[in-house]
Amino acid sequence: MKSPLLLFIFISISLEALPVAGAYQPTDDITVDCGSSTSSTVGVRNWIGDAANRSDYTPIEKTPSSIIARANSSSPTVSGQVPYYTARISRSEFTYTFNVTAGRKFVRLHFFPSDYLNFRRVDSLFSVEAAGYNLLRNFSASLFSDYTSAPTFHKEFCLTVEADRILQ
């Protein structure tokens, strides 16, 4: 039996190949730069800051306690690079809501494990749910980064959004 990590890496590689081969054109192309108060264009992508005034992507918080922060890192491969240098950090749950068309969606989460303010990278565990699926559960980006020797990385998921057309 394959370990979940090996299976997951295979899925990530397979999904990455789709856009390169031209087989997939997204109907909803949403890029959020968590913790940023500005929008930035990198290549052909326009990253929208979730901390900007009147941002369409400001998260909903059960207990308004999240903070925005810049990474405490001197990594030359990441210095100031969108979307890796800013973050939204919280000790309690928060939710992003996206209005999308119904159908299959590819979700890519970008990570740069770093120390942020009073949050040490080695102490960070979190979970991510979307469209009723558990994408990550008690995930440590720090441990994954250390294991793979990758200062930045991303995780990709494929899920289906039903007729209500809301992705949370």
What are the tens digits of pLDDT across the range 96-144? 888 888 888 888 998 888 888 778 888 888 899 888 889 999 999 999 9
Q: What is the mean pLDDT of the chain?
A: 77
Contact (CB, 8 A) for 167 and 117:
no
Contact (CB, 8 A) for 73 and 145:
no
Residue 88's pLDDT is: 84
Residue 4's pLDDT is: 35
Structure tokens at 97: 């809501």
Sequence-ordered list of residues with C-beta below 8 angstroms from that of 125, at least 6 positions apart, any chain: 138, 139, 140
d(CA 58, CA 60): 7
Give the range with max mean pLDDT: 17-31, 47-61, 100-114: 100-114
Average pLDDT for residues 63-74, to the nearest whole number?
76
Assessment of whether the complete model's pTM goes beyond 0.85: no
